[in-house]
Structures are given as structure tokens and as C-alpha cells.
Amino acid sequence: MPYVNIKITREGATKAQKAQLISGVTELLQKTLNKNPATTVVVIDEVDTDNWGIGGEVVTELRKR
Amino acid sequence: MPYVNIKITREGATKAQKAQLISGVTELLQKTLNKNPATTVVVIDEVDTDNWGIGGEVVTELRKR
Amino acid sequence: MPYVNIKITREGATKAQKAQLISGVTELLQKTLNKNPATTVVVIDEVDTDNWGIGGEVVTELRKR
Amino acid sequence: MPYVNIKITREGATKAQKAQLISGVTELLQKTLNKNPATTVVVIDEVDTDNWGIGGEVVTELRKR
Amino acid sequence: MPYVNIKITREGATKAQKAQLISGVTELLQKTLNKNPATTVVVIDEVDTDNWGIGGEVVTELRKR
Amino acid sequence: MPYVNIKITREGATKAQKAQLISGVTELLQKTLNKNPATTVVVIDEVDTDNWGIGGEVVTELRKR
């Protein structure tokens, strides 16, 4: 029944990589807390680098350095 | 003043259906908890089926079965 | 498979009221978008009035007026 | 180390305005709570007006008045 | 730089189990997407079973069966 | 109409500091994007240091160093 939200910058994650994140985190919750995988929900948000900031700076600018 | 976030897979919800969700949940909060509809905020996120997992599997794959 | 997060101020919602929110929003998603209730997840966050602001003011202060 | 999520309707915020939000909120957390800006993360979600409701109504409709 | 939010019901997860979730998901993001662990943030929300619903029912009630 | 969620570790932020965050971020949205302060909602989540990880480590442990 856990709900997991993974936010990453939109920088080309493939379908296969996203599938790995989903299966990996579902498995981790089963292994660690015995959570039922059947009702574990994972949502991945890919966020434009213009909309993500760290250290007070926009990631789009950080990527140019 | 409540804030409601509804996450669904992006699979063709129409403007009219989304309007119904917004009015329906606002009404539910008023009826149940006497919350002021004027300041009730509802945000709907439509998520690509590649980015949604359940049971460790990507919804895009589940939909093919 | 939808995921719904309802945030309200912590001001005495009862177990019965929270149960009504959960069943009500699950039903709304089924009626409106034909979403499967069995995998619809609803999480209610009750937030201290000191931690909720509207109009630039803390709700705890607004409640005193 | 704080994490800030800002949700606004998608109505033409520019890159420069989003950069200002990111630097502004990071600075606010440093000034107010002495939080380290280097690990402060800010994510801006721009939401379609069809997917945002207030007062039980869709923002797209409110904007027409 | 990823941000991960894990929501589970509050049913006795230990400090050690939560530490395992944090290190496990950070490692998964590094392995799968080459994300820098140093800036990967993980936040775990433990939610009262009265405030979590699935299938239109409150988890507190489901646990009694 | 913006919605802002600020997540910080629970390490003694005072009512006054939280009020400053709420007024500060509301003002920032008005100044930067001309958003109406009256309907700007800010929610602060204070998260136990056991439940927050960065760099794959639990903040509780990082604080001991």
C-alpha cells in the first residue's frame, strides 16, 4: 500500500530506466518493510530543468558550466 | 482552505470530467467537514502511463494485457 | 489506481468524517472516470494550524479573529 | 536541506521569473531558519488551468469572466 | 538531485528500516540513472492508519479483519 | 492561487519563524508573478530527522557528527 513519488529532472530517462526504478523501489519496500508489492504505487515526475533549483540556481544554468 | 491533489494516469480524461472531479471533491469537503468551498483548491496531475507503476510494473505494460 | 492526497488543517476531524472523505472521493473517481476503487489510494494529511498559511497569514492567527 | 514545491497555473511564467522564485525562496529559508542554500531544493510545477480548481470551478472557466 | 517521497502507514517501521529505505532508494537512483547520491533527498511520511484509505475503506478497519 | 509546500526537518522552528516563511513566500509570489496573496496557500511540513535522508544517510546520524 505504500505510495512513492520520485522527482527527477527531465533529462532523457528511458522507459527501461523508469521501469527499473519502479520495480526496484517496489522490491525495496517489500524486502525492508514486508510491504505488499501488489498495492505499491510509484509515480515518477520528470521536471523541466528550468523548473528545478538547487543552491538558489536553476538547473538549466548549472548544466551549462 | 483544504488542498486536494488528485493523481491519475493520462488516459483521456476530458475537460468536463476534470471539472466534475473538481466540483465533486469541493462539495464533498463542504458536506463532510463544512470546509469553505471558496478557498478549496484542487489540482489534478495527469501522469504518463510510462511514469506510473503498480505491483512493480509500468502501467503502459499492464495496459497491453 | 488513482492517488488522492487531501490536506486539511488539524481541527478535530473525526474518524467517521475521515472515513466519509475516503469513501466519497473513491466513489467520485469511479463515477466520473470509471477508476477501479480497489486500487484507489487516499491519504489525508492533517496539518497544524501553525503550519498553514493563507493570504500571507498563519491560520492560528486567523482563527482568533 | 529543505525541499520546496511551488505549484502555479501554467500561464506564461518566464525563465527569469522562475529563476527569481528559486533564488528568492532559497534566500528566505536561509534568512529565516539559517538553512544551507547549497542543499535547498526548489521544484516548480506549472499546472494546466484545466487541471486547477478553486471554489469548485476550473480556472480556465474563471479566466473567461 | 532527485527528491523521493515515500508514504507508508505508521505501523512500527524502525529507525534501522527507515535508514535502509533511504540508503536503498539513493543507491537505486545512482545505479539506474547515475544520479549523484550527495544531493539525493529522501523524505518518509508515516501516516496514521485512520488517515489512509484503499478500496474506499480506512486501513484501520481493514487491519481488524 | 498558488500552492506552496515547504518541507523542513523538525528541529525547533518557532511559530514566528514559520509565520515569516508564510508571509515571505506569499510576498515573493506576488512580487515575482503578481499572484493574488489572498488565495496563496502555504503548507509547512516539519519532518522528523529519522525520516529525512540526504546522501543516502539519515539526518539524525548526520547531526551527530
For D53, which residue in chain B has the nearest alpha carbon? B42
Determine which of B6, B17, B42, B45 to mutate to test the interface with C (most C C-beta atoms within 10 Å). B6
Q: What are the φ and ψ backbone dihedral angles of D34, each rounded to 5 degrees? A: 60, 30
Q: Domain limits of chain F?
A: 3-64
Interface test with D, best of E39, E40, E44 (most D CBs within 10 A): E39
ipTM over 0.90: yes
pLDDT at F16: 98
Task: Give residue E65's pLDDT.
Answer: 87
- pLDDT of residue D1 exceeding 90, the answer is no
Which residue in this structure is represented by grid cell 511551488? D6
Over residues E44-59, the mean pLDDT reads 98
Do E31 and E64 touch, CB atoms closer than 8 A? no
Contact (CB<8Å) E23/F47:
no
Res A1: pLDDT: 84
B47: Cα separation from own chain's centroid: 10
Q: How far is CA D26 from CA A14, A45, B12, C1, D2, in A?
A: 31, 22, 37, 35, 9
Average pLDDT value for chain F: 97
Sequence letter at residue E16: A
Give partners of F (≥3 CB pairs < 8 A): B, C, D, E
Residue A63 burial (C-beta neighbours within 10 Å; 0-12, 13-18, 19+): exposed
pLDDT digits (tens, 9 = 90+) for C12-25: 999 999 999 999 99
Per DSSP, the three-state class of A30 is helix
In this structure, are strands E52-54 and D52-54 parallel, antiparallel, or unpaired? Answer: unpaired
Contact D51 B18 (CB under 8 A): yes
CB C55 within 8 A of CB B39: no
**Across all residues in chain D, what is the average pLDDT?**
97
C-beta separation of B54 from A39 below 8 A:
yes
Joined together, the cell numbers standing for residue C36 give 477501479
Q: What is the reported pLDDT for A65?
A: 87
Exposure class string for F33-47: b at 16+ Cβ within 10 A, else e: bebebebbbbbbbbb
What is the β-pairing status of strands A57-58 and B3-9?
unpaired
Give me the catalytic one of A2, A13, A25, A42: A2
Q: How far is CA E10 from the centre of its chain?
A: 10
Are C3 and A1 within 8 A, CB to CB?
A: no
Q: What is the mean pLDDT of residues D37-51?
A: 97
Q: Taking 90 as the threshold, does the pLDDT of residue B48 lie above it?
A: yes
∠ at Cα B38 (B33, B44), nearest 5°?
A: 85
pLDDT tens, A6-48?
A: 999 999 999 999 999 999 999 999 999 999 999 999 999 999 9
Q: What is d(CA C60, CA F15) in angstroms, rounded to the nearest whole number?
A: 10
- Residue F1: pLDDT above 90? no
Grid cell digits, residue C23: 469513501
CATH assignment of A3-64?
Answer: 3.30.429.10
Mean pLDDT in residue range E47-51: 98
**Per-residue pLDDT at D64 exceeds 90:** yes
Q: What is the DSSP string of E8-44?
A: EE-S---HHHHHHHHHHHHHHHHHHH---GGG-EEEE
CA-atom Rg of chain E in angstroms: 15
pLDDT per residue of chain C (65 residues) written in tens, 0 to 9? 899 999 999 999 999 999 999 999 999 999 999 999 999 999 999 999 999 999 999 999 999 98
The region that residue D59 occupies, defined by phi over 0 for left and psi between -120 and 50 for alpha, beta otherwise, is: alpha
Query: Does residue B65 carry a pLDDT above 90?
Result: no
pLDDT at residue C59, rounded to an integer = 98
Interface C-F: count of C-beta contacts within 8 A: 49
Which positions ≥6 away from A12 have C-beta within 8 Å? none
CB atoms within 10 A of CB D36: 12
Q: What is the per-residue pLDDT for E1?
A: 84
φ, ψ of residue A17 to 5 degrees: the values are -65, -40
Amino acid at F44: I
Q: Which residues pair with F4 in a beta bridge?
A: D6, F42
Instruction: Read off the pLDDT of each residue in E32-37 and give the average, rounded to a whole number.
Output: 97
Q: Is a pLDDT exceeding 90 seen at residue B16?
A: yes
